[in-house]
């Protein structure tokens, strides 16, 4: 159950997760990793990064969202996560029901050491990998939020979206900021309008040119 009307932090998963996000920011973990174990959720992780970044990154506060995808990034990033700096909060999303896809039979040759996988379910293997990543992170002393979806369909994904939007809003309020505006994004838009010659934005064009010179003047040509 990922959506609840309860005001009790311990029984409302959205309030609980917002509190966890807020506390770990204050504990010196300025990054939050979202790692779903499904290729179908790759763009969902992109969506969360956009939501989180523009909502809670204000007034010198906030945590940087990191997009990860299991099991691909289990092999490309988890070394850093378990043995690198303890500066991240990890949220792993597991899908309990997946399509029934059996691994092929392996009986001889160079792949014989993998024969124990013959006939096993691919979805079950992904769930085991998600559990293994969570266990490795916990063994390393890293904070982990474990989430499960009964299945990946429109209703489940919609509920997850609502929950994370609520988590984001509550986290922003706990931080004492307005999570519903994006002044940094709007500033970039005004600069673009001015540089492209849009009427009434000439002052923004001059300002953009002034600040960009600080970048271009210190750049190195390759």
Q: Judge contact between 90 and 143, C-beta under 8 A.
A: yes
Catalytic residue among 75, 102, 148, 186: 75
Concerning whether 75 is annotated as a catalytic residue, the answer is yes
Catalytic residue among 150, 186, 189, 206: 189
* Cβ density class 21-53: b for 16+ within 10 Å, e for less: bbebbeeebeebbbbbbbeebeebbeebbebbb
What's the rounded Cα separation, in Å, for the pair 26 and 29? 7
As a whole number of Å, the CA-based R_g of the chain is 22
Closest CA to 145 of 15, 34, 11: 34
What's the rounded Cα separation, in Å, for the pair 127 and 148? 10
Concerning whether 189 is annotated as a catalytic residue, the answer is yes
Concerning whether 88 is annotated as a catalytic residue, the answer is no
Residues involved in catalysis? 54, 75, 189
């Amino acid at each position: 159950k990922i959506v609840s009307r309860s005001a009790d932090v311990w029984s409302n998963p959205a309030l609980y997760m917002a509190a966890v996000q807020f506390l770990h920011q204050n504990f010196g973990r300025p990054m939050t990793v979202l790692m779903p174990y499904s290729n179908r959720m790759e763009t969902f992780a992109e969506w969360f990064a956009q939501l989180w970044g523009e909502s809670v990154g204000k007034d010198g506060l906030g945590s940087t969202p990191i997009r990860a995808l299991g099991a691909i990034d289990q092999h490309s990033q988890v070394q850093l996560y378990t043995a690198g700096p303890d500066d991240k909060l990890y949220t792993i999303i597991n899908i309990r029901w997946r399509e029934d896809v059996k691994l092929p039979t392996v009986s001889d040759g160079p792949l014989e050491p993998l024969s124990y996988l013959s006939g096993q379910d691919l979805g079950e293997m992904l769930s085991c990998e998600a559990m293994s990543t969570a266990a490795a992170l916990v063994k390393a002393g890293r904070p982990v939020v474990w989430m499960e979806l009964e299945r990946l369909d429109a209703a489940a994904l919609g509920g997850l979206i609502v929950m994370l939007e609520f988590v984001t809003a509550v986290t922003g309020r706990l931080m004492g900021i307005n999570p519903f505006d994006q002044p940094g994004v709007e500033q970039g838009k005004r600069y673009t309008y001015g540089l492209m010659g849009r009427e009434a934005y000439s002052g923004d064009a001059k300002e953009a040119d002034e600040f960009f010179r600080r970048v271009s003047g210190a750049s190195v040509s390759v």
